[in-house]
Structure 1
């Protein structure tokens, strides 16, 4: 079972991004996804910068995949997607059907979690277009994954989002700008002030969601480390860990210790909790509301 570092969902300063991936090169992650998936107004890094980071990570022995933007709204954004699809050196994660169309029949690609592949016919169709790996939708429960695993096309790898705030929805509007009464086209790059997103609470002061520009995330951190044995039994090939601003190297190390059985999964979870930016949840995996936390039964 491989560990993958998902695409950076937040907007960080340029030097912070370069330093982050320099640190990730020294971790035991096997796959690294790179690129801007949320908002094209995030200009700290251009495509050339992402390609530079990709080359460095590849030299460090990592499999590098370039991720396309989820919601495309302009010709410039479509043009960037075309350039990513035609890069010729690195794999590509398709996060919308336009990217799938651009890649289909040309090069193998990763079918991202936002493509909503919920059943065997859609999975088989995506594999026929050239998908070599698919990422399970975030809200899919393990019982449904088991059904798909039994009939998935030969050679198609399965990846599961196993750690991080879940990207739940994308919008044409920028919620972070709106929070500051700014228009989207003059957002003043407000996301830079929120390296792990901006927490949203209900009127009862309960943590509810996190707003991250045009993206809405879960307020809690999805964490399946204590379900690692179940995922292994289901034949999951890759675990995706989503970047956070602090302690990411330690999070990777604990997942690695759990997958190599140097630590029991429940012990890894206990050590991880003080390193997380918010309390954990895992409800979707168990067929429950996503914000719930279902404790794993530890064998005596």
Structure 2
């Protein structure tokens, strides 16, 4: 089975490529937009020569994928996407997200069908269901789709377009909707949180009583491996998590030392967020977002192989290893 992974230089894609190279007989295809974006780092350290085949796909959103480039590929795992932009500069964010996450995804899937690929695994997002849940009432596989921002809208639209294509062509479609993914090398909000905690900065999070589902990178990659060929995965959309929800205050201990958390009522945090134009950020910190993975475990016989404590420890260890000694003393 020949597997092509897009976004192969990204956080999830590179981890999946490493796993495929180690466990499959046929070298996986590591697809990137252009070779120049890979950079000089050998982020496939430990992978032997010839264990990975590189491929340059170009900009899937604006150009046809060259004829024959996907020939021989059995399964496409589409991890590439336009993700959240911390400081959005595009005047029409929704159009920018649609260009990559909708048009680019559909272009890739059509090319895969023409090349004879049998299965398309699409990495979507739990955000297609919404931004938050009521405490104790998690999203399930049957929860209605209510995306609240341009990124999530583009992911929902891509899911629907792929379902239509699958119905027309017989392509085996599998959708995976992860929440926040963390692990060694994580960036964005999780990295920012670890930076603040490492500095011992007091954070006004001591009064929070919320629950959030997360997924360790190794657990997500493990599920993606199952989705490559499991017969019961076809036509399904799977939620995934570590199987244990955490509060924001519990995450404060991620670096293995007591966090300096000051009790501040969530309503005051939300008011301050609205005042300074950071309401969405505060809502993510204060609110709950839980997922129920019952359908995933029952249909696929899958369980998260890495316990959440171990995953958080390895994430924190990798972060601390990259800090100056005086910062983590």
Give TM-score, length-normalised by structure 1: 0.33
Please state which structure has a larger fraction of its residues in strand: 1
Q: Tell which structure's C-alpha radius of gyration is larger.
A: 2
